[in-house]
Amino acid sequence: MEDRLAILAGDGILPVLLNVAMPDAVCVVFRGVSHQFEASHPFIEARFEKLGELFEILKSEGVEKIVLAGSISRPALNPNEFDDFMCGIAIQIGEILRQGDDALLRFVLGLFDQNGFSIVSAAQALPNLVAEPGMLTGPHETQNEKDIHKADEVLALMSSADIGQAVVVENGLVLGVETLQGTDCLLQFVAETDPILRDSLKKGVLVKRPKNQQDLRVDMPAIGPDTIDAVSKAGLAGIVISPHTVLLIEREKTLSLAAQKDIYIVARDAIS
């Protein structure tokens, strides 16, 4: 089959959801990287040390497009097991590994591009994963208008420093920012904050947006049912996301759970 899509899968439910929607896609997992596919599910097990071999397999399967989905940690490479392709770029790899994760990601994307594969985002592959502008569920967000404004100011600073994609603000006070540990850790930190430091009458808000210059083809922010549970435990009123650029994992379940817990979700652009 020509013009097939390959799902390069990391951990989490997103690769599985993509494959359910696109059953003809070729699924690729990487040795040493967690994934949620059943053992009986047909997939190709690839190795980072043998990307040249993976390219040839994908071409033989008629794959022309790839989507990277799920979390993939930085690989531990064994140079003694490099195939010819990897041996040819070993010096470049060594230099890139000394840089940040963004540089490594751009380098890997460039390798796929140079070998004839188009890279599409999960949202391009499955458009209903993102939200149009507007209220998705819950009461109106005007109760947190000033907090949202403050959060957008903080996110702009965080983006320029490449720190994170989310912040929690309550009654004008920043309760926490997302760092390398992710949104779940941010919300747990907020939940464990001493009540003395919080407003007992007015609940805060989680605002999550992509960073400036973020490559949304492979690194798009996301919320899902676990986010709703964590927001509820953190005692927050709602969630603000950017339209078109934040994934809604298990959309119906996420919105239903938010409604049950009286948490609003709104998709709106940052306040300028």
For 228-259, give the DSSP string: HHHHHHTT--EEEE-TTSSEETTHHHHHHHHH
pLDDT bucket at 134, cuts 50 / 70 / 90: very high
Q: What CATH number belongs to 130-267?
A: 3.40.140.80
Calculate mean pLDDT across residues 178-193: 94
Query: Of 201, 221, 200, nearest to 209 (Cα)?
Result: 221
pLDDT for 173 equals: 95
Summarised one tens digit per residue, pLDDT across range 138-148 is 877 677 999 99
pLDDT for 245 equals: 94
pLDDT for 103 equals: 73
Element (H, E) at 203: none
SS3 content of the chain, % helix, strand, coil (to 5): 40, 20, 40
Beta bridge partners of residue 9, listed in sequence order:
69
Q: What does each C-alpha distance from 46 to 49, 55, 135 come to in angstroms?
A: 9, 10, 41
What residues does each domain of the chain span?
Answer: 4-125, 130-267
Tell me how many degrees the CA angle 178-160-215 measures, rounded to the nearest 5.
80
**4-125: CATH topology:** Rossmann fold (3.40.50)
Summarised one tens digit per residue, pLDDT across range 67-120 is 999 888 777 889 999 999 999 999 998 888 887 666 777 788 889 999 999 999
Beta bridge partners of residue 118, listed in sequence order:
65
Higher pLDDT, 265 or 272: 265
If DSSP codes are grouped into helix, strand and coil, which group holds residue 145? helix
CA–CA gap between residue 229 and residue 134 (Å, rounded) = 22
**What global pTM score does this model have?**
0.84
pLDDT-wise least confident of 40-54, 123-137, 194-208, 212-226: 212-226
Calculate mean pLDDT across residues 16-22: 92
CA–CA gap between residue 170 and residue 156 (Å, rounded) = 18
Cβ count within 10 A of residue 214: 17
* Same-fold call for 4-125 versus 130-267: no
